Amino acid sequence: MLVGHQPKDFLLAVSGLTVSFDGFKAVNDLSFYVEENEIRVIIGPNGAGKTTVLDLICGKTKATSGSIQFRGKELTKMRENEIVQTGVGRKFQTPSVFEDLTVFENLEISFPRGRTVFGSLTFQRDQPVKDRVEEVAEMIFLKDKLSTYADELSHGQKQWLEIGMLLIQDPDLLMLDEPVAGMSVSERAKTAELLNRIIKNRSVLVIEHDMKFVEDIAHKVTVLHQGQILSEGTMEKVKNDPKVIEVYLGH
């Protein structure tokens, strides 16, 4: 990889990223670049450091060394909420929605306005907010569940709700950690449809194990192994890489 000079059109530039937990390097000198409107899937065996990479980008874990540049801004020095405001959205592996609030309220909280203490005290539920919430609710198949409390939703519906909460933030980079895990076959198909719709006009970084799903959506695939990149490229190229077959796909 080039050092020092990078072309301007990279949305996300991760370079030399390392994090060590008590000496164990979960991510080791990792560099990769995501372009505008690119869908990048990260695959790899358990413990390869996939989720840690997302944690590092969204600020949940602090990097030991290296840099993460998003539109030229250094993310490693920012707080989580600042990173979100810069335009990075993150979906967690287990659905994390607000169960004591309704679907409408869940989506409303994610609406990018009134994010300070004072702003949230004076926040008005006006027409643009309602319209946007309804628009997103329709996309995530929850239009007729707006006044349902989130704890009454099924697992799949909670996953959709969380995706909807990210969507309403309208991030430039959307990070999804196993979006179809634990879903039924029909939910999986609907989710693929949903993802294909929402990835327009933004870059997406997805962790997924379901290879069929990966093939459907990925522009480019990065294979991680022991915190390092094992292989990178199109699905076709990665699938035929002997190293990948050995550690991951072969079984």
Tell me how far, at minimum, the Cβ of 236 lies from other proteins, in Å. 34
- Which tokens go with 248? 């991951």
CA dihedral 51, 57, 59, 65 (to 10 degrees): 100
Tell me how far, at minimum, the Cβ of 162 lies from other proteins, in Å. 8
Nearer to other proteins, 179 or 227 (CB): 179
Nearer to other proteins, 110 or 203 (CB): 110
Nearer to other proteins, 92 or 248 (CB): 92
Tell me how far, at minimum, the Cβ of 83 lies from other proteins, in Å. 8
Nearer to other proteins, 90 or 220 (CB): 90
Nearer to other proteins, 29 or 172 (CB): 172
Interface with other proteins (CB under 8 A) = 58, 60, 79-81, 84-85, 89-90, 92, 96-101, 105-106, 108-110, 112, 114-117, 120-125, 162, 165, 169
Q: In whole angstroms, what is the distance from residue 174 CA to residue 136 CA? A: 15
Tell me how far, at minimum, the Cβ of 46 lies from other proteins, in Å. 22
Residues 6 or more apart whose CB falls under 8 angstroms from that of 121 comprise none
Tell me how far, at minimum, the Cβ of 116 lies from other proteins, in Å. 7
